[in-house]
Amino acid sequence: MINKNFDELNLNKKVFRAIEDMGFEKPSSIQAEAIPAIIDGKDVIAQSQTGTGKTLAFGAPIISNILNKEEVKNNIQALVLTPTRELALQVTEELRRIAKHARLKIVPIFGGQSIEMQLRDLKRGANIVVGTPGRIIDHMNRGSLKLQEVEYLVVDEADEMLNMGFIDEVESIIKETNSDRQTVLFSATMPQQVKNLAYKYMKKDLLHISIVKKSLTVDKIDQYYIQCKSKSKVEALCRVLDYDNTDGVIIFCRTKKGVDELVEALQAKGYNVEGMHGDMGQNQRLNSLKKFKESILDILVATDVAARGIDVQNVSHVINYDIPQDLESYVHRIGRTGRAEREGIAYTLINPKEQKIIRQIENFTKSSIKKKEIPTLEDIMDKKCDSLVESLWENLEGKDYKKFLPIVEGLQKEGNLVHISAALMAMLFEKEVSNKYEEDIAEEESYNRLFLTVGKKDNLNIKSLLTFIDNNAGVKSSEIGDIDILDKFCFMDVSENHARKIIEKANNKKLNGRSVRIEFANRGRN
Ligand code: ADP
Ligand code: MG
């Protein structure tokens, strides 16, 4: 990672504040390189893996540039092309977060949504349009989308876009924009087709930023991933902490807020844990670190930045509560265990959609990451009882227990010693396992994402959505995974079978007076 902070990137103050609000501590490598270049007006090709923050890498500088102008004009100044509508929506949401303190209209345009609604949105004026090529061409042909004044053009996921056969559409859109525009192209890989596109339409002095990593090896660390629903992450984490014999655990979260929330949740369950991140004073951080080193503190929850450079021995477990920002930081994180000839264990918690990131990490580290099942409550009970019995025998080899003999002899007169011992075990068990477990968290099968044409604007909330699905398709809320409700749409994860059932039974049924279209999110192309 390049050692720069967000305040060194010349971002507009409003953008900087929004990034602070998001709780991001450091720019990712691609952000540290691309942001200043784009602010400088350069055409940029940026290449880096999925999940490295490419949206912010183009969104923050472009929004900064727009805000830095004397007056923000009421026309389309930036156009972002994405290959799928789901990405169009995701990018729109992220750009809106970046523009949170500014008054910019950011409008998504893609097939599947009623064209009238988009026409209305466009009429009201848009500063940034994010869309899929097919529908953008559609609007160009109707004359409802004027691109001549577009000063910033972003082709996001260019490789994916061309794989999907959008080359002609992309070219006709580019030709429609202002020829003085600034063009940035983001891609995870650089096939010839993408290069051709770049050389044809970008300025000759374009900058090629490539954050492609050499592979690194991680020996002596047993690596596992644990798949669970997002809402069961804390529970899964606690079960692992209670099941394994841990001796020093570092847990990584992606944001400062994430650290705070997890620390609070774990403390409430009685774990001996503290957090470390950039907003905490130096003294506080050193203090936590000292306690952790001296084994007074069992668990440290940290962001990557706060953890950088800390050299702690005796870490038995590294747990990626959130998947790392980039592949390199995975290696940095798990490198904290398994030092000095000791074995270490690394766990990474993922949701089913993050499976592919595990594969990428395996390729990058040339090592294997095995699947680990979440321990069941019986597993934990058995394990803890075994270890209680073991320490009981150990204790009997020493002398300490002898001073309690008179008390136990007294107890023997009053009750059954077997029952009394069992009660003592129960008390110890209670102390050992600090957590009150939630009901069983069965792991989910691989999920499909559904796209529904109903959203916040229709007064949709999770409850009304679940009721709608249950009433029409008979699929209960317990079968449904993550739900994202956006302005006019929502997405929902369900297993393949349930997804089919929902489409079959609930498609075009009415919710809050409007008929709702339901489709597989990833199967519509534009
Ligand atoms: P990519 O386009 O490279 O796949 P995204 O732009 O979708 O990646 O970002 C992935 C996730 O990382 C998003 O949730 C985003 O909000 C988050 N993110 C972006 N930049 C940072 C950062 N500097 N620190 C922490 N999280 C970040
Ligand atoms: Mg992206």
Q: For the chain, give the percent of residues with pLDDT over 90.
A: 55
What is the residue whose two structure tokens read 């002095």? 205
CB of 29 closer than 6 angstroms to any ligand 1 atom: no
- Looking at the predicted structure, is the pLDDT value of residue 526 above 50? no
Look at the pTM and tell me if it is higher than 0.85. no
Nearest CA to ligand 1 atom 24: 24
Per-position b or e across 487-511, b if 16+ CB within 10 A of its CB:
bbbbbbbbbeebbebbbeebbeeeb
Report the pLDDT averaged over residues 385-395.
Answer: 88
CB-ligand 1 contact for 55 (6 Å cutoff):
yes
Asked if the model's pLDDT at residue 524 lies above 60, the reply is no
Domains in the chain, CATH or no CATH each:
6-210 (3.40.50.300), 221-371 (3.40.50.300), 377-432 (no CATH), 447-520 (3.30.70.330)
Retrieve residue 356's tokens: 């592919």
The gap from C-alpha 401 to its chain's centroid, in whole angstroms, comes to 50
Average pLDDT over residues 327-349: 78
Q: Is the CB of 253 under 6 A from ligand 1?
A: no
pLDDT tens-digit map of 182-199: 999 998 888 889 999 999
Distances (CA, A) of 362 to 2, 213, 216, 367: 23, 13, 10, 5
pLDDT tier at 201, thresholds 50, 70, 90: very high
Q: What is the pLDDT of residue 525?
A: 44
Cβ of 187 closer than 6 Å to ligand 1, yes or no, is no
Q: Which residues contact 343 (CB under 8 A, 6 or more apart)?
A: 220, 221, 222
How remote is the CA of residue 88 from the centroid of ligand 1, in Å?
Answer: 15
The residues placing their C-beta within 5 Å of ligand 2, an ion, are 54
State how far Cα 280 lies from the chain centre.
Answer: 23
> Could you tell me if the CB of 54 is within 6 A of ligand 1?
yes
Scan for tokens 């727009």, then name that residue. Answer: 66
Name which of 123, 37, 17, 111 is nearest 75 in CA terms: 123
The pLDDT of residue 471 is above 70: yes
Whole-angstrom CA distances from 71 to 59, 68, 135 are 19, 8, 30
Q: What pairs with residue 252 in β-bridges?
A: 302, 320
| Averaged pLDDT for residues 430-452 | 70
* Residue 439 near residue 376, CB atoms below 8 Å: no
| Distance set, CA 373 to CA 278, 384, 443 (Å) | 33, 18, 8
Task: Identify any residues that bridge with 129 across adjacent strands, giving them in sequence order.
Answer: 79, 107
Per DSSP, 320 falls in state E
DSSP string, 102-120: S---EEEE-TTS-HHHHHH
CB 443 within 8 A of CB 228: yes
Ligand 1 pocket test: which of 3, 15, 16, 28 has the largest number of ligand atoms within 8 Å of its C-beta?
Answer: 28
Geometric angle at alpha carbon 470, from 464 and 471, rounded to 5°: 85
| φ, ψ at 181 (rounded to 5°) | -60, 165
Q: How far apart are CA 414 and CA 310, in angstroms?
A: 55
Ligand 2 centroid – CA 82 distance (Å): 9
Please give the Cα distance from 464 to 467 (Å, whole number).
5
Coil, strand or helix: which one is 332? helix
**Stretch among 24-38, 296-310, 460-474, 480-494 having the lowest mean pLDDT:** 296-310
| Highest mean predicted confidence (pLDDT) among 115-129, 420-434, 472-486 | 115-129
Give the Cα separation of 161 and 428 in Å (integer): 59
Q: Are 211 and 33 in contact (CB under 8 A)?
A: yes
Residue 377 or residue 136, greater confidence = 136
Any atom of ligand 1 within 6 Å of the Cβ of 27: yes
Span 209-227, mean pLDDT? Answer: 76
The distance from CA 102 to its chain's CA centroid, rounded to whole angstroms, is 25
Query: What pLDDT shows up at residue 336?
Result: 74
Among 188-192, 359-363, 439-443, 508-512, name the one with the lowest average pLDDT.
439-443
**Residue 317 contacts residue 248 (beta carbons within 8 Å):** yes
Q: Helix or strand or coil: residue 231?
A: helix
The pLDDT value recorded for residue 365 is 83
Residue 263 is predicted with a pLDDT of 97
Residue 108 Cβ inside 6 Å of ligand 1? The answer reads no
Q: Output the DSSP codes for 405-444.
A: HHHHHHHHHHS-HHHHHHHHHHHHHHHH----PPSP-PPP
Confidence band for 215, pLDDT divided at 50, 70 and 90 = very low
pLDDT above 60 (res 484): yes
pLDDT tens across 229-254, in order?
888 899 999 999 989 988 899 999 99
Q: How far apart are CA 171 and CA 155, in angstroms?
A: 11
Cβ of 51 closer than 6 Å to ligand 1, yes or no, is yes
CB 129 within 8 A of CB 80: yes
Quote the mean pLDDT of the chain. Answer: 88
- The verdict on the CB of residue 177 being under 6 Å from ligand 1 is no
Ranges assigned E (strand) in 168-265: 182-187, 207-211, 221-227, 249-252
Whole-number pLDDT of residue 434: 56
Cα separation of the two ends of the chain: 35
* Six token digits for residue 369: 């990451």
CA 13–ligand 2 middle distance (angstroms) = 24
Which of 33, 54, 55 should be mutated for ligand 1, with most atoms under 8 A from CB?
55
Note the pLDDT tens digit of each residue in 62-93: 999 999 987 777 889 999 999 888 789 889 99
**Atom 18 of ligand 1, residue of closest alpha carbon:** 53
**What percent of the chain is modeled with pLDDT above 70?**
92
